[in-house]
Amino acid sequence: MSDSLQWGGRFEAAPDAALLAFGSSLEDDLVLAAFDVACSQAHVATLAASRIIDVGTAYALDAALRMIADEIPSGEFAAQARASGAEDVHGAIEARVRTIAPAAGEWLHAGRSRNDQVATTLALYARDRATRGARICATIAQFALASARQALADETVLAATTHWQPAQPILLAFWLGAVAEMFLRATRRFNRVAADAREFCPLGSGACSGSTLPLDRGVAVHELDFGAPSRNALDAIGDRDIALDLLHAVARATLSASRVSEELVLWCAPAFGYARLDDAASTGSSLMPQKRNPDPFELVRAAASSANGSYTAALASLDGLALSYHRDLQETKAQVIRGTERGLAALEAFAAALPHVGWNAEAMESRAGDGYVVATDIADALIARGVSARQAHLLVGNAVSIAEKAGRALTQRDLTALAKKAKLAEPFKAPLDALASVRAKQTTGSTSPAAVKRALDELEEVLEREAGNSPR
């Protein structure tokens, strides 16, 4: 029986090598190594405080774990773990401890199961990665906010689209503000996950029912910065809510990045020409010399599908499981790690690529009025003069049809004709260009310069709080 296995006493024969390899999660687990070391250090502190091990044993175990912690960043521990034949990173760390401190290493797993060990390690991982996700998303939101303030000063206007058809004029600052709002929400979600991951510490729950050893669970709570010990061992060792919440936050954030990326990919195309990605973030073609491809945003767009797939798979792996621990949860862990690592990498790439986008205000403004995007403003002006919404819609729609057939824009003459058809006593005014349209908006949350400024000011205040730049 391999010395790296944490079980085997009741077995007479070694496990089938192929089946053992099938059951290994080591490659997925290696990312958890530093968190497992921290978990093990807290367990050693608990064993010592509870007088289950003596001071010398505790010192030897802690020294061994500190040595392993130093081996992790360089990849030295990963190489040793792969060579050890361990089933997972938890077994690999214990085996390494027994190599460094043979006598003391025999005590490391006292009062602990891999079940509560894995649950605690995952909570620490979720806390760390959620904190990282919040930092990335706050950076994206802050960049979008700063860009929005510059675009607001310039009053750059473009035609917003619905169904990818011209809809109504908006400020570029309004669009950038929307991006900032999306990533503010993502920051909040990550912050909630990080906070929830601190609430209860599973360590000390054992395999499913607690321990007959007098473990002072408050020690691990303090060492690992949790709020309290978990209340129910059966629930604690099988609960994966925090891991799922982490992956959900990752999937949601990459989804937001994917949606923005879709727009930027099209805006960088000559058919739009609204944006240009500089050389540092573009790629070319092996065949076509003229190509400038927005690859980072295309890859981010695809990464959202991967994160969503991992989240769906993680959910499915839990479907129908009874309480307590089941080996199916190994697949849950793998999906959480894969989806989280790939998703956070995509978010970091998105954050790195955004500053390389340059805006073509001239192209935006030259086409901001295309597609009769002021038609709604004209209909609103008729409604303000007492014309019913239905009648105003019909009258303006007819005016658009006439102008479209003539190949011209809507003009003051159309407003005069509409006033006559609507039987108004006097002519009425309405915006006839894109900038006049955005300036005419009156509602809170609209694209008017004043409303955009208020929204950006409010957003900045909330974002600073969520990013931890002001007291919570």
284-321 confidence digits (pLDDT tens): 988 998 999 999 999 999 999 999 999 999 999 999 99
- Residue 201 near residue 112, CB atoms below 8 Å: no
What's the Cα-to-Cα distance from 135 to each of 310, 344, 457, rounded to whole Å? 22, 11, 20
Active-site hit among 285, 388, 401, 470: 285
Sign of the CA dihedral with 75 first, then 79, 82, and 86 last: negative
Average pLDDT over residues 1-18: 59
Q: Which residues contact 120 (CB under 8 A, 6 or more apart)?
A: 39, 201, 202, 203, 220, 224
- Nearest-10 crossing angle of helices 172-196, 114-154: 160
d(CA 177, CA 459): 9
Of 73, 65, 70, 66, nearest in space to 98 by CA: 65
Task: Give residue 471's pLDDT.
Answer: 39
246 pLDDT higher than 80: yes
Residue pair 463/180 in contact (Cβ under 8 Å)? The answer is yes
Res. 54: pLDDT tops 90: yes
The residue assigned the tokens 């020409």 is 273
Strands 200-201 and 157-162: unpaired
pLDDT of residue 12: 62
Residue 6's pLDDT band, with cuts at 50, 70 and 90, is low
Could you tell me the two tokens for 426? Answer: 């006097």
* Residue 47 · residue 53 · CB < 8 Å: yes
Say which residues have a Cβ less than 8 Å from residue 169's Cβ, sequence separation at least 6.
157, 158, 159, 160, 368, 369, 373, 374, 434, 435, 437, 438, 447
Q: What is the mean pLDDT of the chain?
A: 94
* pLDDT tens for each residue of 388-404: 999 999 999 999 999 99
Give 26's pLDDT tier (boundaries 50, 70, 90): confident
Question: Over the stretch 426-443, which tens digit does the pLDDT of each residue have?
Answer: 999 999 999 999 999 999
User: How far is it, in rounded angstroms, from Cα 143 to Cα 182?
Assistant: 13
Six-digit token string for 22: 């099938």
According to the model, what pLDDT value does residue 10 have? 62
What is the spatial distance between Cα 210 and Cα 287, in angstroms, rounded to a whole number? 64
Give CA–CA dist 300/302, Å, rounded: 5
**Mean pLDDT, residues 178-195:** 98
Q: How many residues make up the chain in this entry?
A: 472
Cβ neighbors of 223 (< 8 A, separation 6 or more) are 41, 42, 45, 46
pTM, whole model, 2 decimals? 0.93
pLDDT at 166: 96
Tokens coding 4: 């790296």
Rg (CA), the chain: 30
Residue 7 CA to residue 86 CA, distance in Å, equals 11
Q: What is the rounded average pLDDT of the residues 464-470?
A: 77
End-to-end CA distance of the chain: 53
Strand partners, 276: 358
In degrees, rounded to 5, the angle at the alpha carbon of residue 249 between the alpha carbons of residues 245 and 254 is 150
Tokens found for residue 166 = 């011209």
Q: In terms of C-beta distances under 8 Å and separation of at least 24 residues, what long-range contacts does 391-394 make, across chains too?
A: 391/422, 392/422
Q: Is 285 a catalytic residue?
A: yes
Amino acid found at 182: M
DSSP letters spanning 297-336: HHHHHHHHHHHHHHHHHHHHHHTT--SS--THHHHHHHHH
Q: Is 90 a catalytic residue?
A: no
Is the pLDDT at 222 greater than 60, yes or no? yes
Q: Say if residues 56 and 25 touch (Cβ distance below 8 Å).
A: no
Residue 396 to residue 373: CA distance in whole angstroms: 12
Q: Which residue type occupies 155?
A: E
